[in-house]
Structure 1
Amino acid sequence: MSTHPLPPFPAPTTTPTGVRAGRSLSALICVVAVGAVTACAPSEGAVAPSPAAAVAPASPGAGASRGTMGAPGIGDPDFPSDGNGGYDVQHYDLRLSYDPASRKLAGSATIEAKAVQDLTSFDLDLHGLAVSRVTVDGGAAGFTRNKDELVIEPGRRISNGDRFAVAVDYSGVPEPMRDSANLGKYGFISTPDGAFVTCEPNGAKTWFPSNDHPSDKATYDFQITVPEGLTAIANGEMTGTPQTKAGKTTFVWREKHPMASYLATMTTGKFQVRTGTSDKGLPIYAAVADSFHGSLDQLFTETGKITDYWSTVFGPYPFSSTGGVIDDYAAGYALENQTKPIYGGFSPEPTIIAHELAHQWFGDSLSIGRWRDLWLNEGFATYAEWLWAEHAGQYTADSAFRRYYANAADPMWNYPPGTARASDLFGSAVYNRGAMTLHALRREIGDDKFFPLIREWTNAHRYGTVTTQEFIALAERVSGKNLKELFDAWLFQPRRPAPIT
């Protein structure tokens, strides 16, 4: 997610400065890219994740098992009501119909899951919307509502290890989430011609029943029906040609790689679309609202160019297509929806596109297992902005680092980014001090260790979940250094670290 622009910089320079390893970034990338000609080749849907990061239960009834009742929270201590316990979702099949005139959404969601304990009841997250019917493995199931919890009682006990399918029919006018301390309004947001759908951190439940926490990733099928003349955009790739009947058009999309629920979208409206491939052959889907028609070609071109470049820096692109969407809803932010970042009401500069596309590795393929580790998403994507600017000859990562460090009065020094706060999840420290942590690490271990470390990080945890402690351990192993003091100073102390030399 992009929310924090960089401060003004001095005149552009093309020469990296202050990198202790003594090698330029461009020279290093040439070394890294050797043998990686197909780094951007579409992924064929290898969906086996690495072992998920453990999420410790916050308290009984909020992530901890209560006999055979699935807990109403997945166990994230900072977001105790998010997600649910007792099962692991494998796949979502979402059949959705949306009418912008009435703002009514009708849905049928089939959720395939595996029980991780014996279950006589379990919860799904769902905000508002009226549920008319629930079945489990085809049999009628009882259900009740408790705020944003849909509590389901199957007709038979589900045993630990069993696979089961729950189907939920529902409808109503979606209500977005509102959190003035963070993004304001997010989730399913109605627009005059459709909907702007950006769900970080927990807005998926505003439009489909889910296990709404990034630690439970799944694959997705979307079948979205809208009035004829509108376009429905979701994650992954379109399956077949949209079909129009009786004044309505149905679009079918499939995301065959694991995806966190907050990255799912069903953005709809009047869009101009361009498709094609990047120079390395990766499919691109770019769409812009009519009012941004002049930005379509730039979005398409920059998206392909930047995705191709990141594959030489971060490792092979993890998904089967790339893209981007510009909607005319003035959200004031961009979100890294998997395979198709969305830009809310503005034409993004290349550095913002670079940020959101870097998230395809950091946040989308490698997802956090708990929200307090958000710097692993935003710090990495912000540092990617600096690397892109360095690659483009605008400014160096080192100059960005030093400009931030020079402001000793910046409030981010009081906010340790290694423990993101639920009340200020997207604070500038998570972005900027998180990025500075990576630059301090790069200066400490040198480019010849730093960039291979990043590639090993993305490869070892591809499609899985990660924690800060795992990254620190890998950094120490790759570098052969004890880095605890460095990470403690930059991530966990509420003060400005000593200057790096």
Structure 2
Amino acid sequence: MRYRTRVTAPAALIGTAAALSVGSPAHAAKATATQNGTPGPETLGDPVYPSLGSDGYRVSAYHLDLAYDATTKLVDATATLKITTTQELTRFSLDALGLDIHTVTVAGRAAVFEQADEKLRITPARCLPAGKKVTVVVTYTADPRRTLAHTAWVPTPDGFAVCPQPNSAHTVFPCNDHPMGKADFTFRITVPAGLRGVASGRLVSTENLADGRTAYTYRSREPIATEIVQITVGDYVVKDRPGPHGLPLRDVVPTARATALEPALALTPNLVSWIEQRLGAYPFETYGLLPCNSDDPNAFDFTGLETQTLTLYKPNYLLQEESKIGSHMMHELVHSYFGNLVSPATWADLWINEGHADFYGLLYRYERGWPDSIGLTTMEARMKNTYARGDQWRRDSGPVAAPNAVNLFDSQRYLGGVLVLYALRNEIGETVFNAVERAFLDRFRNSSASTDDYIAVASEVSGRDLSGFLRDWLYGTKTPRMPGHPDWTVTPPSSALRQPESRTDGHHDNSATL
């Protein structure tokens, strides 16, 4: 374990630790020991990523001020966090990896800090009492090109975009990096002449600075989970168009590709209308696409990522005809509801996001008569095909709602999740199923929800206890019988472990799944 320790503490604390090496981890430990109270736990207990996030406080708001230097390709930044303690704290931690931290202040006072693995441990000048509202400010420099164990940065020839999901937002800014910790966000992005800075939310101000740079400020109307934040810099044009019911749509497009990408961008209004009929009004202040300005096939290994209000895409993917991209565009749009509006309580609940996104993406495809990647043209045919693989997937990837960090994004969370939803709809009927969907979204709007929460809503709305039914589908090691299709059979699993199919969005590129 390699530690990097800096001291930006008041004189009293510096004096306490003067006999210790500034670079020693014992330094911060000594400073902590001089206070009464308890260090905050460096975990939120996530079953898939147990080291992700920290406890003892909650973040209500982030303000990220980033300045991009086109010559050095570096980002100088200040992250301002509004936090509320949930216990008495002598020390608390943020997630941070690959960031060169310069200073940390807590409630306006310089604080001792150290970087250990992927944690930024902060020792405030005074012990923080439980229920204390406090501002934390961290200044740092980031290199988007830095090689790390994992990273959210997507470097481009003229700037960058970010792909934080699932556990990499903290390579861009120090944070409590877990989807249960949704918060308000503002972004101020300063760029040199000729470049544009864009982020999740709506543009609230543009400043033309004396040195020729421009600062763009964006603010989210609703809270955002760290894993779906978007920040991008590049030679972009922002294309605005009206959506249903006056919804402002904005696409952030590489200037040189704006004309070529227009046919794909023009599909969005009808996509929004279709999903609104099923899930209700689009939940955020704007929506649009960000075809990231990179042709490097190794720049990012995914097709699209549902960063809030601005879906990240490979640009060349969107140059295909509508039948090749329409269902995937619907998949990403559905994440505005399942995944963004309602975030997973833990990463084991990912099937709720991806199962729903694939479910509606497939419905959209088959309504239009577009054959899928294996030549099937109806939802029933696709589900029968998927059902046959059920025991093999459960053997290779575990139950639908019990992933690990290795198989989190394989097909069991995607099409396996679709199969659960299809079974539920067959069991309770389409009308009740649709009511379950809307009730779940309404109840957990702008919050996070677990698998247990979904089961509870389904039981309440349907008027019957569905816990046994759904738990068999979600956690069973054998595929249950499909309601309405007693003739469907499951292919016995082979003895050899098969390579799982990978996800349709995010960090594995398997766009043909839809």
TM-score using structure 1 length: 0.81
Q: Is the 8 A contact 1:397 1:439 kept in 2?
A: no
User: Using a 3 Å threshold, how does the CA distance of structure 1 residues 117 and 265 change in structure 2: closer, same or farther?
Assistant: same
One-letter amino acid matched to 1:374: L
C-alpha distance in structure 2 between counterparts of 1:122 and 1:354, whole Å: 40
Q: Is the 8 A contact 1:332 1:345 kept in 2?
A: no
One-letter amino acid matched to 1:398: E
For residue 418 of structure 1, the aligned residue among 383, 386, 401 is 401
- 1:12-411 mapped onto 2 (5 Å cutoff): 68-174=38-144, 186-241=151-206, 243=208, 245-290=210-255, 292-329=257-294, 330=297, 331-333=300-302, 334-348=304-318, 349-394=325-370, 395-407=377-389, 411=393
C-alpha distance in structure 1 between counterparts of 2:471 and 2:437, whole Å: 20
Between Structure 1 and Structure 2, how many residues are aligned?
431
For residue 488 of structure 1, the aligned residue among 460, 467, 471 is 471
C-alpha distance in structure 1 between counterparts of 2:178 and 2:52, whole Å: 6
Q: Is the 8 A contact 1:136 1:166 kept in 2?
A: yes
C-alpha distance in structure 1 between counterparts of 2:209 and 2:392, whole Å: 55
Match of 1:447 in 2: 430
C-alpha distance in structure 1 between counterparts of 2:70 and 2:210, whole Å: 18
Give the C-alpha shift of residue 410 in structure 1.
5.0
Which stretch shows the higher mean deviation, 200-209 or 265-274?
265-274
User: Using a 3 Å threshold, how does the CA distance of structure 1 residues 428 and 492 change in structure 2: closer, same or farther?
Assistant: same
Match of 1:46 in 2: none
1:470 aligns with 2:435: no
User: Using a 3 Å threshold, how does the CA distance of structure 1 residues 174 and 275 change in structure 2: closer, same or farther?
Assistant: same
Give the C-alpha shift of residue 140 in structure 1.
1.3
Give the C-alpha shift of residue 211 in structure 1.
0.5
Q: Is the 8 A contact 1:203 1:262 kept in 2?
A: yes
Which stretch shows the higher mean deviation, 484-493 or 96-105?
484-493
One-letter amino acid matched to 1:454: E
Q: Is the 8 A contact 1:332 1:344 kept in 2?
A: no
Percent pairwise identity? 33
Match of 1:49 in 2: none
Name stretches of at least 5 consecutive residues in structure 2 with no aligned partner. Answer: 1-35, 319-324, 371-376, 486-514
Q: Is the 8 A contact 1:134 1:143 kept in 2?
A: yes
C-alpha distance in structure 2 between counterparts of 1:362 and 1:257, whole Å: 15
Which stretch shows the higher mean deviation, 409-418 or 312-321?
409-418
For residue 440 of structure 2, the aligned residue among 457, 463, 466 is 457
Give the C-alpha shift of residue 130 in structure 1.
1.5
Which stretch shows the higher mean deviation, 286-295 or 363-372?
286-295
Match of 1:54 in 2: none
C-alpha distance in structure 2 between counterparts of 1:389 and 1:232, whole Å: 34
User: Using a 3 Å threshold, how does the CA distance of structure 1 residues 408 and 106 change in structure 2: closer, same or farther?
Assistant: closer
Name stretches of at least 5 consecutive residues in structure 1 with no aligned partner. Answer: 1-65, 180-184
Q: What is the CA deviation profile of residues 203-225 of structure 1, one whole-angstrom value per residue up to 9, with x for unaligned ones?
A: 11111110011111100010001
Give the C-alpha shift of residue 402 in structure 1.
2.1
C-alpha distance in structure 2 between counterparts of 1:294 and 1:381, whole Å: 28
C-alpha distance in structure 1 between counterparts of 2:147 and 2:477, whole Å: 30
SS at match of 1:267: strand
Which stretch shows the higher mean deviation, 461-470 or 123-132?
123-132
Give the C-alpha shift of residue 192 in structure 1.
1.5
One-letter amino acid matched to 2:330: A
User: Using a 3 Å threshold, how does the CA distance of structure 1 residues 363 and 177 change in structure 2: closer, same or farther?
Assistant: farther
Q: What is the CA deviation profile of residues 440-459 of structure 1, one whole-angstrom value per residue up to 9, with x for unaligned ones?
A: 11111111101111011111
Please identify the structure whose Cα radius of gyration is greater.
2
CA RMSD of aligned residues (A): 2.1
Q: Is the 8 A contact 1:228 1:244 kept in 2?
A: no
Q: Is the 8 A contact 2:358 2:415 kept in 1?
A: yes
SS at match of 1:258: coil
C-alpha distance in structure 1 between counterparts of 2:427 and 2:205, whole Å: 50
SS at match of 1:212: coil
Give the C-alpha shift of residue 412 in structure 1.
5.3
Q: Is the 8 A contact 1:213 1:260 kept in 2?
A: yes
Give the C-alpha shift of residue 403 in structure 1.
2.9
User: Using a 3 Å threshold, how does the CA distance of structure 1 residues 176 and 120 change in structure 2: closer, same or farther?
Assistant: same
Give the C-alpha shift of residue 313 in structure 1.
0.8
One-letter amino acid matched to 1:104: L
Which stretch shows the higher mean deviation, 402-411 or 165-174?
402-411
C-alpha distance in structure 2 between counterparts of 1:242 and 1:411, whole Å: 53
Match of 1:38 in 2: none
SS at match of 1:422: coil
C-alpha distance in structure 2 between counterparts of 1:171 and 1:319, whole Å: 31
Q: Is the 8 A contact 1:272 1:287 kept in 2?
A: yes
